[in-house]
Amino acid sequence: MKLPSLTIVRFLAAFMVVASHFGGGLFNPAPAPVRNFFCRGGEGVLFFFLLSGFILTVVYAGRPLRGEGLRAFYLARFARVYPLYLLAVLITVPIAYLTYKGALAVGKPVPEAMPLFVVQKFTMTDAWTPLRSIKSGWLLQGWTLSCEALFYLSFPLVFLLTSRLSARVSVIAFFVALLIAWGVHAGPLLALGREAPAWKILDQWLQEFPPARVPDFVAGCLLGRIFLDLRGHIERVAGFVIPAIAATVVLQSFASNALTSESPVYLLFRLAYAGLILTLAARDLARPFRPSRLLAALVFLGEISYGIYLIQTIPPEYLQFASLHWGLRLPSEPWLFLLHVTLIVALSAGFYRFYEVPARRWILGRRKAPAAPPNAAW
């Protein structure tokens, strides 16, 4: 099952995350709707988590996830995400080392938990502990891979449970999962109040703590189940794609990009993204795109979106290091952001072609890499 629209949207979501981190020079002077639309890092991650559950459910429908099938599933997931993750961690080791060396030079002690965090970083479990002061210096976006690892571990059980639901119960469970996903973050924060000293710390930790993000993944799985139940009405569902796109664009453009996770607006984001995923998938099945070079280029950007997301901090960090220590002259904004994006995309494309795909083939022991389903972080 090919869903090119969802593959393309993955690139847009990855770009939102990159823009929120490094696009201030380009988007801050822009009108508020433009700035709000693109600088949506948290919302981009939320979209990936929903998409992850949806795609896995649709792709593995009808496949046995027990015995050899279960082993093949876990091996495929490992082959899809870990090789590039390991490479990104290794590439950023020098920057992390220099960061902590610089902290020691000005009298800042390295936390005693550093050895634990190093182990967690290489095992994709660093988001399980609230070591924020350490995380900020080393592949910060890697926390989402801790969440993805938990999603993959839990998917066979979630898939088994959701496959037994009727169409009506799946819809009810989907809305319940969305409420829980919002409530996990909103409940403790609303109870504490914004004035509580621990409010910001708890908010950040809940954003990254893997079990707190499972409800979003489960909602995506239930959305996939709803999609499968609606296959007999695919044309009708596809007819709502324009309203779904319009609703998402309006919400992203006019909702503040300074929202905190207890805001009810995040419920609207979850609903808008779910509608977008559902209708785009239906559109791809009901009215397939004609092959073209433009479509192939856009789909390729979607295929490398995992790399774009994962290595987004590497070119900026090394450029900054070269500027500070070697006197490299960097362009001013917005050209600096455009340079960052160019390097990120070029490196992601190179890694995908010459490292990701060969590594996947080697791990899976096949002559051709399988068409792995898109996953959240990508």
Q: Tell me: the pLDDT tens digits for 190-209?
A: 777 767 676 667 777 788 89
- Give yes or no for a contact between 120 and 128, defined as CB atoms under 8 angstroms apart: yes
Lookup result for tokens 């083939």 = 361
Cα Rg, the chain, nearest whole Å: 21
In angstroms, rounded to a whole number, what is the distance separating the alpha carbons of residues 300 and 302? 5
- pLDDT-based confidence at 102, cuts 50/70/90? low
Asked if residue 229 belongs to a domain, the reply is yes
Asked if residue 374 belongs to a domain, the reply is no
pLDDT of residue 283: 94
pLDDT of residue 378: 47
pLDDT of residue 366: 60
CB within 8 A of 305, min separation 6: which ones?
10, 11, 13, 14, 348, 374, 378
The two structure tokens encoding residue 90: 């290794």
In angstroms, rounded to a whole number, what is the distance separating the alpha carbons of residues 204 and 200? 6
pLDDT of residue 375: 45
Asked if residue 201 belongs to a domain, the reply is yes
Asked if residue 261 belongs to a domain, the reply is yes
The full DSSP string for 107-125 is TPPPPTTHHHHHHHHHTT-
Asked if residue 118 belongs to a domain, the reply is no
| pLDDT tens per residue across span 208-242 | 899 999 999 999 999 999 999 998 899 999 999 99
- Give yes or no for a contact between 225 and 163, defined as CB atoms under 8 angstroms apart: yes
Residue 257 or 178, more confident: 178
| DSSP designation for 356 | I
pLDDT of residue 191: 76
Phi, psi of 78 (to 5 degrees): -60, -45
Q: Dihedral through CA 145, CA 146, CA 147, CA 151, nearest 10?
A: 90
pLDDT of residue 139: 86
Mean of all residue pLDDT scores within the chain = 87
Residue 22's Cβ-count burial label (10 Å; 0-12, 13-18, 19+) is buried
| pLDDT tens per residue across span 328-369 | 999 988 899 999 999 999 999 999 999 999 999 999 986 454
Asked if residue 346 belongs to a domain, the reply is yes
In angstroms, rounded to a whole number, what is the distance separating the alpha carbons of residues 168 and 172? 6
- Give yes or no for a contact between 279 and 238, defined as CB atoms under 8 angstroms apart: yes
The two structure tokens encoding residue 151: 């999603």
The two structure tokens encoding residue 201: 């710390």
Asked if residue 316 belongs to a domain, the reply is yes
In angstroms, rounded to a whole number, what is the distance separating the alpha carbons of residues 118 and 110? 12
Whether the pLDDT of residue 103 is over 70: the answer is: no
pLDDT of residue 244: 96
- Please give the model's pTM, rounded to 2 decimal places: 0.91
pLDDT of residue 367: 45
In angstroms, rounded to a whole number, what is the distance separating the alpha carbons of residues 289 and 7? 13
Containing domain of residue 228, as a range?
4-92+139-364
pLDDT of residue 122: 92
Asked if residue 248 belongs to a domain, the reply is yes
Helices and strands (H and E) in the chain: how many: 20, 0
pLDDT of residue 226: 97
Q: Is the dihedral of CA 125, 131, 135, 141 positive or negative?
A: positive
Whether the pLDDT of residue 377 is over 50: the answer is: no
pLDDT of residue 369: 47
How many domains are there within the chain? Answer: 1
CB within 8 A of 194, min separation 6: which ones?
none
Percent of the chain predicted with pLDDT > 70 = 89
| pLDDT tens per residue across span 141-172 | 889 999 999 999 999 999 999 999 999 999 99
pLDDT of residue 134: 55
In angstroms, rounded to a whole number, what is the distance separating the alpha carbons of residues 98 and 102? 6
CB within 8 A of 276, min separation 6: which ones?
9, 244, 245, 247, 248
In angstroms, rounded to a whole number, what is the distance separating the alpha carbons of residues 87 and 92? 9
CB within 8 A of 219, min separation 6: which ones?
50, 53, 174, 177, 178, 181, 270, 274
